[in-house]
Structure 1
Amino acid sequence: MHEKGDFVSDVAMPSSADATIAVSIHGPAGVLDLVVPAGATSVDVAREYARQAEAAGVVSGIPLLQTALGERLNATVPLAEVGVQSGDVLVATTGVHRPRKVTLLEAAKDAPETPALASMVASVASLAAALAGWYAARAGEDTVRTVTVGILLACALVGALPLGRHTRQRAAAAPAFAAAAAFAALHEPGLHLLPAILGAAGIAAAVVAGIGRALSVDGGDEIGTVWIAAGLTVFACCALPALMGWDARVAWTLLVLGSMMAARFAPSLAIDVPDEVLLDLDRLAVTAWSARDSQRKGRRGRIVVAADAMERLVHRASRIVTGASAAILVTVVVASPLLLRSATIDLDRIGARCLVFFAGCSLLLAARSYRHAAARALLRLAGLGALVSLAVHLVVGPGASHLDTFFYVVVALGVVALAAAIATGRGWRSVWWSRRAEVAEALCGSLAFASAVVAAGVFRRLWEMTS
């Protein structure tokens, strides 16, 4: 017997190393290292362990062998067939140790956090909340509406609390539940009150987002900031026309135009670096002699940012840009059909169609300047959503005919073929196409501003006043 209670067996060694298994047996007599044939069973190994233990005068009797995880080895099956390999550890005991059963709740607590999966679940939950609010608003029974509103409000308040895991993802989805609850509670049939209802939903989302941001532990809830800015903007664009007694298409015009402009201003807000994270190396390098020297002209300052601060800045900018792009997508997809539907006069209809077209093209062109894959995809979906809304309105809307439909389909197929040809030839990455895209984006933005005046009815009102 070696020191520290180790035993080494002197059993016969087979000639082939592949036909043997080297195992270590832990038990009351200490640790015994054995080299046994692959065809030996657990009873054979247990007998050898009992013989070595009796020789040391520690225990008597043949013990039971288990794996390190507490699984009992079958006495009639060879060790090689039950999965025992060289280097494995076996446990010799007089009783069978059953592994403790782990409940589903304990497994969930011990599982690592998965932010990507939590974000996907939060997005699906937000979509489900929007559908629930829409269904409750159109339901004829007041009981269904009341119960749905109560559940949505409870989910919004619970999601805003910084308790449990994935608090950031739950706080990002909580304003969607509040907006759906407000829409379901205040909805009335007809389009004349829809801007006021959506404005109330926007301010409800902003309030819940503000609660979640105030209760946040780290204080870095960028998605909450996007919710607050988007909710207040929707409230201002929808409440002002309602208070002034203007037509509903003014609100939809402001939302479409504001979404187009937000695609250009969101990156500038995301890359804002606070002054406290900057280090001026020139000021830190001042010595007694250099302090007496006058400031030399033309000297370039050396300013650096700490690595951890830069990493936090990148993650913060990524969340802001992604959240802003998602808000732009939702706003454009909702406001574009409403604008086209509310424009009933011929002159206003022309302006609404032009505004949706140029805003969609501007969003598609603005998406190419985004290096964030998710934000670029969301902006492209927003632009395509606006163009699809326009195409549906042109096909099934007032004044549509078969000849016009054929013309629109041919033009759309030509545009798709041109985009596919340019993308295949990698033309979007060249300097020439980049400059043309910049000019096209500026032109679409300018034409969208001009179309907004006509879509909102301002041009027609001035024309009527002067005629």
Structure 2
Amino acid sequence: MHAKGEHVSDVAMSSSAGATIALSIHGPAGVLDLVVPSGATPVDVAREYAAQAAEMGGVPGIPLLQTALGERLNAAVPLGEAGVQAGDVLVATTGVHRPRKVTLLESAKNAPESPALASLVATVAGLVAALAGWYGGRAGDEAVRTATVGLLLACALVAVLPLGRHARQRAAAGPAFAAAAAFAALYEPGVHLLPAILGAAGMSAAVVAGIGRALAVTADEVSTVWIVGGLTVFACCALPAMLGWDARVAWTLLVFGSMMTARFAPSLAVDVPDDALLDLDRLAVTAWSARDSQRSGRRGRIVVSATAMERLVRRASRVVTAAAAAILVTTAVATPLLLHSASIDLDRIGARCLVFFAGCSLLLAARSYRHAVARALLRLAGLAALAALALHLVAGPGAGHVDTFFYVVVALGVVALVAAVATGRGWRSVWWSRRAEVAESLCGSLAFAAAVVAAGVFRRLWEMTS
């Protein structure tokens, strides 16, 4: 049944009553197309529907109006203010049909993907896993340690499964749970055992990252960084432990390696495969152009497809960000351990110099990064190294009030200089860029020299020849 009619409400209309809205009303009497003012209320439209439906059998009383989704319209609110637009479909019914309740699980499934939020949650989960591993390892109760290790291992294995949404972000956090589980299972009191424990944690993270990379549908660059980082930590920590060297050798290698990684990570991330390059001159060769000898002297035109370029940028972004995060974690952990393990005066001087030059090198290397997240992570790594050094100078062995005052004054002067240059956008000028490049190279060279002293090699050679 189909009918058309117009009705002007008898109640007071709003200022927008001059506009009209064409509606389709579905109800017990059939479908009616009505043209009503936008200031009409649902009661006016229901009354008009009941009046026209009386000619075709009628409806019991004035029906209620609902939207197509089952939401009841407020009888006191005009249609224009209720959001009803021209062409909408309304339902006239004698009973209120409530919309279907959506469960929390269905809401989560229907929610749009948010990779940034998932990455933040994965980062927080990794930090919580590290705290759980630290607590489980230092807990005196074996039952608590066993339960912590089992739970962390289960979370690590479940995280790397390529199921559900945000599988990439969960796989990035899985190795952190494995490293925390290994630390909680192997931790024993004693500084001499700490390099071996951290090496085993790095190997556990690499193994779980390898499992996730093998199960992943597409190539996962974060898992690759986990594998390389975990194996590097294992090599730097296990080799000195097996050779019977002091623990500060492992911490020296980690600090120096983190500083060098910040310089070479971008060059390793940006890698354009040869099959992605298109030589336009070769593609344009025809029977006539092949006879033209003048084309051989012209410069070739190489073009990279837009799809390949976008894929390259996304891959490089993930690699650089993961590498910067690994540098931050390694620097924040190895720097205090290096300063604490250097107990002899000569080794302590080398350790302090290495931490200082490594922190400055990380801060200077961050200025060359165009990726905002990676640049912020490298700056945090440099600041973490300098903060650990400042805390060691103030509260460490041999600290005095005069030395503390001197260090604070020099630190404030350096901070004021950096703030003045950054505020004036000096880093963007060619002069400051060249000076920063020279300063970064100088810090790297001095850090290499300080690493020999911090590891105790210089002192051993001195003792052998004296």
Q: Which moved more, 1:99-108 or 1:282-291?
A: 282-291
Shift in Å at residue 39 of structure 1?
A: 6.6
**SS at structure 2 position matched to 1:35:** strand
Report the AA paired with residue 415 of structure 2: V
Q: Pick from 12, 15, 18: which aligns with 2:16?
A: 18
TM-score (norm: length of structure 1): 0.93
Q: Relative to structure 1, is the Cα distance of residues 133 and 78 closer, same or farther in structure 2, using a 3 angstrom cutoff? A: closer
Q: Are the equivalent residues in 2 in contact too, given 1:29–1:58 (CA < 8 A)?
A: no
Confirm or deny that 1:327 pairs with 2:326.
yes
CA–CA separation in structure 1 for the residues paired with 2:210 and 2:42:
67
CA–CA separation in structure 1 for the residues paired with 2:113 and 2:156:
22
CA–CA separation in structure 1 for the residues paired with 2:41 and 2:244:
92
CA–CA separation in structure 2 for the residues paired with 1:456 and 1:16:
83
Q: Are the equivalent residues in 2 in contact too, given 1:139–1:145 (CA < 8 A)?
A: yes
Tell me what 1:390 maps to: 389
* Structure 1 residues 160-199: aligned runs within 5 Å: 160-199=160-199
Q: Relative to structure 1, is the Cα distance of residues 292 and 73 closer, same or farther in structure 2, using a 3 angstrom cutoff? A: closer
Report the AA paired with residue 208 of structure 1: V
Q: Relative to structure 1, is the Cα distance of residues 52 and 438 closer, same or farther in structure 2, using a 3 angstrom cutoff? A: same
CA–CA separation in structure 1 for the residues paired with 2:122 and 2:165:
13
Q: Relative to structure 1, is the Cα distance of residues 36 and 366 closer, same or farther in structure 2, using a 3 angstrom cutoff? A: closer
Report the AA paired with residue 178 of structure 1: A
Report the AA paired with residue 148 of structure 1: T
CA–CA separation in structure 2 for the residues paired with 1:359 and 1:84:
61
Identity of aligned residues (%): 75
Report the AA paired with residue 35 of structure 1: V
Unpaired stretches in structure 1, ≥5 consecutive residues: none
Shift in Å at residue 313 of structure 1?
A: 0.8
Tell me what 1:336 maps to: 335
Q: Which moved more, 1:130-139 or 1:6-15?
A: 6-15
CA–CA separation in structure 2 for the residues paired with 1:141 and 1:5:
78
CA–CA separation in structure 2 for the residues paired with 1:172 and 1:320:
12
Shift in Å at residue 12 of structure 1?
A: 8.0
Q: Are the equivalent residues in 2 in contact too, given 1:32–1:49 (CA < 8 A)?
A: no
Confirm or deny that 1:9 pairs with 2:6.
yes
Q: Are the equivalent residues in 2 in contact too, given 1:5–1:29 (CA < 8 A)?
A: yes
Report the AA paired with residue 34 of structure 2: D
CA–CA separation in structure 2 for the residues paired with 1:297 and 1:78:
78
Q: Relative to structure 1, is the Cα distance of residues 113 and 243 closer, same or farther in structure 2, using a 3 angstrom cutoff? A: same
**Displacement over 6 Å in runs of 4+:** 12-17
**SS at structure 2 position matched to 1:30:** strand
**SS at structure 2 position matched to 1:287:** coil
Confirm or deny that 1:224 pairs with 2:223.
yes
Q: Are the equivalent residues in 2 in contact too, given 1:249–1:456 (CA < 8 A)?
A: yes
Tell me what 2:232 maps to: 233
Shift in Å at residue 72 of structure 1?
A: 3.5
**SS at structure 1 position matched to 2:278:** strand
**SS at structure 2 position matched to 1:193:** helix
Report the AA paired with residue 29 of structure 1: G
* Structure 1 residues 38-437: aligned runs within 5 Å: 38=39, 42=43, 44-55=44-55, 57=56, 59-62=58-61, 64-68=63-67, 69-73=69-73, 77=76, 79=78, 83=82, 87=86, 89-218=89-218, 220-294=219-293, 298-437=297-436
Shift in Å at residue 232 of structure 1?
A: 0.6
Shift in Å at residue 426 of structure 1?
A: 1.8
Q: Are the equivalent residues in 2 in contact too, given 1:23–1:90 (CA < 8 A)?
A: no
Tell me what 1:461 maps to: 460
Shift in Å at residue 9 of structure 1?
A: 2.7
Report Cα offsets for 1:284-343 as digits up to 9, x if no partner: 111123334558564322111111111111111111101000000000111011111111
Report the AA paired with residue 301 of structure 1: G
CA–CA separation in structure 2 for the residues paired with 1:384 and 1:40:
64
Q: Are the equivalent residues in 2 in contact too, given 1:358–1:444 (CA < 8 A)?
A: yes
Report the AA paired with residue 426 of structure 1: R
Confirm or deny that 1:446 pairs with 2:445.
yes
CA–CA separation in structure 1 for the residues paired with 2:41 and 2:430:
74
Report Cα offsets for 1:204-241 as digits up to 9, x if no partner: 001111111110012x2111111011001101101110
Tell me what 1:32 maps to: 33
Shift in Å at residue 107 of structure 1?
A: 0.8
CA–CA separation in structure 2 for the residues paired with 1:181 and 1:15:
70
CA–CA separation in structure 2 for the residues paired with 1:128 and 1:376:
24
Q: Are the equivalent residues in 2 in contact too, given 1:256–1:335 (CA < 8 A)?
A: yes
Shift in Å at residue 282 of structure 1?
A: 1.7
Q: Which moved more, 1:133-142 or 1:18-27?
A: 18-27
Report the AA paired with residue 180 of structure 2: A
CA–CA separation in structure 2 for the residues paired with 1:168 and 1:192:
37
Report the AA paired with residue 49 of structure 1: Y
Shift in Å at residue 419 of structure 1?
A: 1.2
Report the AA paired with residue 119 of structure 2: S
Q: Are the equivalent residues in 2 in contact too, given 1:175–1:204 (CA < 8 A)?
A: yes
Q: Relative to structure 1, is the Cα distance of residues 327 and 15 closer, same or farther in structure 2, using a 3 angstrom cutoff? A: closer
Report the AA paired with residue 403 of structure 2: D
CA RMSD of aligned residues (A): 2.3
Unpaired stretches in structure 2, ≥5 consecutive residues: none
Shift in Å at residue 29 of structure 1?
A: 2.1
**SS at structure 1 position matched to 2:4:** strand
Q: Which moved more, 1:449-458 or 1:285-294?
A: 285-294
Q: Are the equivalent residues in 2 in contact too, given 1:351–1:454 (CA < 8 A)?
A: yes
Q: Are the equivalent residues in 1 in contact too, given 2:356–2:386 (CA < 8 A)?
A: yes
Shift in Å at residue 422 of structure 1?
A: 1.4
TM-score (norm: length of structure 2): 0.93
Report the AA paired with residue 26 of structure 1: H
